[in-house]
Amino acid sequence: MSHEATVIKEIPLYGTKKGLISVSKVDEPYGAGSDSVASIGISLSGDAKNPEWKVHIPMGNIDELVETLKSIK
């Protein structure tokens, strides 16, 4: 598996001292030829490359996800 990740942005995690939200693009996350995903990671320790929690969002779901997140703000 390639797992070629490019960190796009690191955002301080509100309410923590060192926590980060990291947003990355991961190419071929599930092996050669698999579609790229957006990866959102949460690191309480501030280590964006090794988050305690992460989720992969298929590129085709990003627009709807963003709109949904905006609606709950």
DSSP of 9-68, one letter per residue? EEEE-TT-SS-EEEEEEEESTTSTTPPPEEEEEEESSS-TTS-SEEEEEEGGGHHHHHHH
pLDDT of residue 4: 72
Q: How many separate domains does the chain show? A: 1
pLDDT at 1 > cutoff 80: no
- Please say whether the beta carbons of 9 and 23 come within 8 A: yes
Structure tokens at 10: 């690191």
Share of the chain above pLDDT 90, in %: 85
In this prediction, residue 6 has a pLDDT band, given cuts at 50, 70 and 90, of confident
Predicted TM-score (pTM) of this structure: 0.85
* Interval 30-35 mean pLDDT: 93
Range of the domain at 21: 4-72
